[in-house]
Chain A
Amino acid sequence: MNLLEVKNLKVHFPVKHGLFSRVKAHVKAVDDVSFTIRPGETLGLVGESGCGKTTLGRAIVKLVEPTAGSILFEGEDIARLSGSELRVRRRKFQMIFQDPYGSLNPRMTVGQIIGEAIDIHHLAESTSARQKRIVELLKAVGLDPIHAQRYPHEFSGGQRQRIGIARALAVEPQLIVCDEPVSALDVSVQAQIINLLQDLQQQRGIAYLFIAHDLAVVEHISQRVMVMYLGKVVELAEAKAIISAPKHPYTQALISAVPVVDPDSKRKRIVLPGDVPSPMHPPAGCPFHPRCPMAQLPRCEAESPALREVMPGHWAACHFAK
């Protein structure tokens, strides 16, 4: 069974059109998105700035209210749960953020930060059990238990990300949404955190929705990868398949644009014309058509392509993907 099944999820934000206008426009940050995550699996999520990755991640852990659609967690729809019903289930899904500093209370010690998560869900019977648990968690993320007494500002970026991970682990979640967890870190420290996340997954069977800009990092850590453009999923497939043989013209351009370290690689860069359009005014038809080198008019500007299975397990939203 799937751990998570997201069906036709929409998150639309109302925005005032002009200063005095009462007519509201909508940013379709997430627009009709469906996918699944299996227990213990990592699903990678990539796409350019503003395409809706963070909003999708926040919707799944219920930090933002979905406009429509369902979010089945172990078969139960949590999309419209709130209050105490939601609180009980919250334990199962956690989120870690790009900026570990901004997400840690500067006035609390590391021990208090982790302890708070334990307390909210009543996960320790006694003070000593609580203390033991904090020590275990710090060790699990590669920090010295002595660090429980210290404050977040005393740590480096990589160490802070470890603290964020320890706090997420404290409630024994089955799914962690990782929103750009290594993007703010020094390159030489990124690998430490990626390895840690992979080890924790092996030991505890946690599933990840892993959001990142860096396609190589996403390919490395994910079993499957999902690509978004302007609020929609344009491609979803096994990581290897999507990187070696992308079916959607946008994914093809995205992958070809990644600068590669290997000087002897024969890859040719596809340089897309134009900018990413604003999600407030997405183009009609296929949202990618103004930049698509393969577009065929009038079909691509009239008809919105559905996400379809072009090969077993390989989904793409392009009229011409084979």
Chain B
Amino acid sequence: MSFTENWGKSCGTTVGLPATPKGSRRPLQQVRELRERFWREVRVPGTGAEFNQNLEKALRVADFLELGELMIVDAYHREESCGCHLREEYQTPEGEALRRDEEYAYVAAWEWAGENEPPILHKEPLQFEFVKPTVRSYK
């Protein structure tokens, strides 16, 4: 099985919709293992000193795995539900998405802190001057 198929299996069901905290730790582990395996086992035909379309593809897969890991980290740190991004433990008694604006009204910008280091979170607050955020209701 290829690396991308493996990655899809790790993420699709567990960090997809809806996510559970238990579910989202497992794919993080799996993607880390997959990334580690990728760098150990990947076989790219040809060399870097010539026109090499396969090297280009391999680099894209490497980026894809790195970004995949970050998306899981980001999904896990955000302890709230937001619209369709529903986490099962954050819902109203009626089963609606429970947003936590006091804590999470920001855009998360992650900074790369080096190989095998956890990324650094920069919060870019969402400031609403005229329209105040409200809870969407489909009732």
- Chains A and B come from one and the same complex: no
Question: Which residues of chain A have a CB within 8 Å of any CB of chain B?
Answer: none
B interface with A by C-beta (< 8 Å): none
